[in-house]
């Protein structure tokens, strides 16, 4: 029963936070400074998700050429610097990872 209360509580909190920003009835304006700060939120979240997978594939830090996750991560960074489309970058990097793994 406690698990269900926890899930319902988290759902209510998530809904209320998103409703506050998306509802047209609540007069809320984002300042230019906040807009500039929010531009960095997506890269920060993606970095927080990717770094543990790339650097700690087996639970311990692995910064070597034997780490396929690290090699694929460097390859993806190089592809993204070439300004390819997102779909091309994803497909090419997945093929690269599949080949080196």
pLDDT digits (tens, 9 = 90+) for 9-55: 999 999 988 887 777 776 777 789 988 998 898 889 989 999 999 99
Do 74 and 51 touch, CB atoms closer than 8 A?
A: no
Query: Given this model, what pLDDT does residue 27 score?
Result: 73
Listed in sequence order, the residues at least 6 apart from 52 whose beta carbon sits closer than 8 Å to its beta carbon are none
Do 61 and 67 touch, CB atoms closer than 8 A?
A: no
pLDDT, mean over the chain: 89
Q: What share of the chain has pLDDT > 70, as a percent?
A: 98
Give the separation between CA 1 and CA 8, rounded to whole angstroms.
11
Query: Given this model, what pLDDT does residue 33 score?
Result: 92
Query: Given this model, what pLDDT does residue 20 score?
Result: 75
């Amino acid at each position: 029963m406690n698990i269900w209360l926890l899930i319902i509580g988290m759902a209510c909190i998530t809904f209320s936070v998103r409703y506050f920003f998306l509802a047209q009835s609540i007069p809320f304006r984002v300042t230019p400074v906040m807009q500039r700060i929010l531009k960095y939120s997506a890269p920060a979240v993606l970095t927080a998700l990717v770094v543990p997978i790339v650097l700690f594939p087996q639970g311990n830090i692995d910064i070597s050429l034997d780490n396929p996750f690290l090699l694929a991560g460097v390859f993806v960074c190089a592809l993204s610097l070439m300004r390819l489309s997102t779909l091309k970058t994803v497909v090419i990097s997945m093929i690269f990872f599949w080949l080196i793994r």
